[in-house]
A and B are shown apart, each in its own frame.
Chain A
């Protein structure tokens, strides 16, 4: 790794930040995963024997909450760029809070589903319900990884390691978090259209 810091290499070889490029490739693979799930959903739905039920109302609120957290994240990123470290910390904490609020809301959504007798597994479960749990669950799993990333960024922000000269970390976090928000909006619109 010491080799990588060699100016010789930096000058001649680095076209895009490799870590940023890697993050984008990982995002591509996550997109493929959800492409598989949602196309499986459509194929399966076309075959009939499909339980129709109402989406939990809380999902709409969750969508707004996650959108807000993306706005906070962008605010944090802009603050870091402008070296406004006080706003940076506030914005990052708001982002995390909104992220956790989203997760709590999703959990509540699952509770609502169970109350309406829409189960993940078991003898009364229909794939239409199971798919909803899988889509929200796998998204929530990725959101948790995003939150872990955010917490790392917050810790380094409190140690004054995130500022306009040291943006790499928060930039990656920003991309990932916006991606998770966009992914959820896609899933939500997809679910609304297919219900």
Chain B
């Protein structure tokens, strides 16, 4: 992984070294591109690491989809790749569970948390608030390297003889606590816990930095109510991470003690092969409480950054001010707050007190309100806009579509009574893959297409972008819409084989269909990968502000050097959404243009600032 980073950065940057400040020249290669403290390099490191993990996670999903779609087939062609995990052309059932577990872990934590926040918070926060760098470049660097070590350990665990963790990404004990239960709960689970502990440290170091930078280092004139929505979303994401991840660390620590030090926090009265284990007095539901207290904010940690990215891209490409700027901030605050009081909706069928269940159901359904505010505002921003359908814009509009289709099923699942039927079926899988998985991926793609010119100084190829978009967009719906259907029929998730059940046999064709769609959609991602790497070296050269956008990052040179602005820092006079302002000669007015220069378009209350 690191070797890719090195060669890429070298080639990308060698062409514009003359832009750099003097003190950059005495930095060695290693200081500049590997142990870099520059937020832009760290962002790219997170992006490359995220792409690496996304390929691994996507490949895993294709593998277990093969098993689900073609349960009777023999996969001898996979033997060179998987070795002893394929026996006589059949996927090993425990390996199937390990694949599902690692797919979840990798996608949720390593791609959509580290890859998404790590890339865009690092890249955009200093650039959009007019700062030279993060509050602490050193801690920022540590954040990446903790993530890197966590990645190495997680990656290594895939190659263990007993396999990686296999108890589901939620690692519920006792399954995850007892190596006798499943071979993945041996060394694989130990490495999972160690890796996640390091990952949490990385997230906390990063999050502390993001919050401090946004609070303390905004340029002159940039009040919190003039911030781009991207920064608001990154800020709230970091706050959620700061409050939620320590709780996961606590849960992981107790699980480590149960596994390796003989305590009984989560284990009680278990018989293995007729023999009672020595653990008594533990409570497995306690783990679920601790896990989901992180786990639920975690899904908002995944989706919030894309709220901001999408708001920014939609406003820019619709050439219209974002509709309801304050309502957007308010709804994000509301979602962030509510995300901490809904965790038990994951546990309706865990034996929890049903009265408590109805409280959590009520709170869960309230989340629909701020979410609907956001959707309404995005659609209202698009309404009668002068829309440029760039690939980034297409992904953003599709994000809204996915967020609606996935969100509506959230209202169904949030009902504790309906959840009795739907819990742990493919309906749940379809719900969260649309609303948080695919939607967050779409937001991430939108962000990469949109900010690629500022990251690498070149444009991505548009036609390949359209191809990538349409196959992915159609593919995602073809994969997940049928899943709702089999989910309502009660088809359970995480089952290696279902052909033994008469009830589910009739869904054979549908499962095959989903698998084919999944593999096509996954294959389409290679258009993106090719486009991404090709454009880094050979893409059309970008201008400073190719999308005619208002935010401060577009006032930097094409390849911003260390310190971001060659001269003094820009000063902010206005909000970031002055698009198509009546009376203005151009359809955009950047944030650093004073009102004295735009007298023709100033509104009555803005005349005071002239």
Contact = CB atoms under 8 A, between A and B. Distances in A.
B265 A49 contact: no
B286 A29 contact: no
Nearest to A127: B281
B290 A40 contact: yes
Contact of B253 (A4, A19, A35, A138): A138
A29 B133 contact: no
A2 B212 CA distance: 18
Given A8-B568, A18-B216, A22-B139, A120 B261 contact: yes
Interface stretch (B226-234, B240-248, B533-541, B552-560): B240-248
B283 A47 contact: yes
Q: Which residue among A35, A50, A51 has the maximum number of chain B CB atoms within 10 Å of its CB?
A: A35
A43 B289 contact: yes
Contact of A28 (B136, B209, B243, B262): B243
Contacts of A29: 204, 208, 242-243, 245-246
Contacts of B215: 15-16, 21
B257 interface: yes
Interface in A1-36: 1-4, 6, 8-9, 12-16, 18-19, 21-22, 25-26, 28-30, 32-33, 35-36
B16 to A, nearest CB: 19
Contacts of B244: 32
B282 interface: yes
B209 to A, nearest CB: 7
B204 A22 contact: no
Contact of A127 (B138, B282, B293): B282
Contacts of A86: none
Q: Which residue among A15, A22, A126 has the maximum number of chain B CB atoms within 10 Å of its CB?
A: A22
B219 interface: yes
A127 B216 contact: no
Contact of A4 (B132, B242, B247): B132
A35 to B, nearest CB: 8
A3 B247 CA distance: 36
Q: Mostly helix, strand, loop or mixed at chain A's interface?
A: helix
B69 interface: no
Interface residues on B, range: 35 or more
Contacts of B569: 8-9, 12
Q: Which residue among B211, B212, B286 has the maximum number of chain A CB atoms within 10 Å of its CB?
A: B212
B251 A22 contact: no
Interface residues on A, range: 35 or more
Given A1-B37, A22-B212, A32-B243, A122 B262 contact: yes
A125 B212 contact: no
Interface in B206-240: 207-209, 211-213, 215-220
Given A8-B568, A134-B257, A25 B211 contact: yes
Nearest to A31: B246
Given A25-B242, A40-B289, A127 B263 contact: yes
A184 B249 CA distance: 20
Given A15-B216, A22-B212, A127-B282, A32 B247 contact: yes
B246 A44 contact: no
B254 interface: yes
Contact of A25 (B138, B208, B262): B208
A29 B207 CA distance: 10
Interface in A124-144: 125-127, 130-131, 134, 138
B563 interface: yes
A44 B283 contact: yes
A168 B281 CA distance: 48
A155 B117 CA distance: 38
Interface in B130-181: 131-133, 135-139
Contacts of B135: 18, 21-22
Contacts of A127: 263-265, 281-283
A38 to B, nearest CB: 10
A28 B242 contact: yes
21 contacts: A1-B37, A3-B563, A6-B132, A12-B219, A12-B569, A13-B220, A16-B216, A18-B217, A25-B211, A26-B204, A29-B204, A29-B208, A29-B242, A33-B249, A36-B250, A40-B254, A43-B289, A44-B286, A120-B262, A127-B281, A127-B283
Given A12-B219, A22-B212, 5 more contacts: A1-B37, A12-B569, A40-B289, A51-B281, A130-B257
Interface of B: 23, 37, 131-133, 135-139, 204, 207-209, 211-213, 215-220, 242-247, 249-251, 253-254, 257, 261-265, 268, 278, 280-283, 286, 289-290, 293, 562-563, 568-569
Q: When A and B form their complex, which 9 residue pairs have the shortest distance between CB atoms, in order from nearest? A: A121-B262, A123-B278, A36-B250, A32-B246, A33-B246, A36-B247, A18-B135, A130-B263, A3-B132
